[in-house]
Amino acid sequence: MPQPRVVVLDYGFGNVRSAVRALEHVGAQVDLTADRHAAENADGLVVPGVGAFAAVMDGLRAVRGDQVVDRRLAGGRPVLGICVGMQVLFACGREHGTSTDGLGEWPGVVDRLQAAVVPHMGWATVDVPKASVLFDGVHDERFYFVHSYAARSFPMHDEPVLRNRPLVTWADHGGRFVAAVENGPLSATQFHPEKSGDPGAQLLRSWVGTLR
């Protein structure tokens, strides 16, 4: 069986080599590139992100990553967001009193964690929905987080008209926040699976498995 082709979107932001290596380890053929054609046509696209919401959005727009994500999802082609790469999938990010538009794939706001200690850094358990594909075999494991901001609600859960509601995984740090989402071809994690040891590798293996 041929290896799924995965593009890790390179928009000049953050150390993404560990994500490339982790995806290769679980059986993907990986390219780190900003090439729009490659990103739109790969079997899977990974959107990484570290640092500030606004800076990540600027970087994505500079390489037309916003258009790439939108076109892939319109065609039902898988996308995985990681850390701030997940946060920018929401409608808006609020940092230091400033609001920045996100990609708007999900409604909701990303803002600062309400906890005594911020950033949230280290290993934490997650509350996984039973039907999850991403967390198959790792429901009870811990994953590695490093972040100061998160989505602390998921408004689509409360929309009664949705027939297939997204599967939302939660974690807690001074209150619950969204740790992962599975929504058709769009998946995302607030934690870093590439830094989460064997459980993270298994999660990436599950995602890559959906690309075959």
Cα dihedral value 135, 137, 139, 145, nearest 10: -60
Catalytic pick among 105, 141, 182, 194? 194
Distance CA(203)–CA(10), nearest Å, equals 22
Strand, helix or coil for residue 7: strand
The DSSP annotation for 29-70 comes to: EEEEE--HHHHHHSSEEEE---S-HHHHHHHHHHTTHHHHHH
Distance CA(200)–CA(141), nearest Å, equals 9
H or E element, residue 144:
strand 142-147
Residue 83 is a catalytic residue: yes
Residue 192 is a catalytic residue: yes
Catalytic pick among 120, 147, 173, 192? 192
Distance CA(95)–CA(149), nearest Å, equals 8
Work out the number of other CB atoms within 10 angstroms of the CB of residue 68.
Answer: 25
Catalytic pick among 40, 83, 139, 157? 83
| β-pair type (149-151, 5-9) | unpaired
Distance CA(2)–CA(154), nearest Å, equals 36
Residue 182 is a catalytic residue: no
Strand, helix or coil for residue 18: helix
Catalytic positions are 83, 192, 194
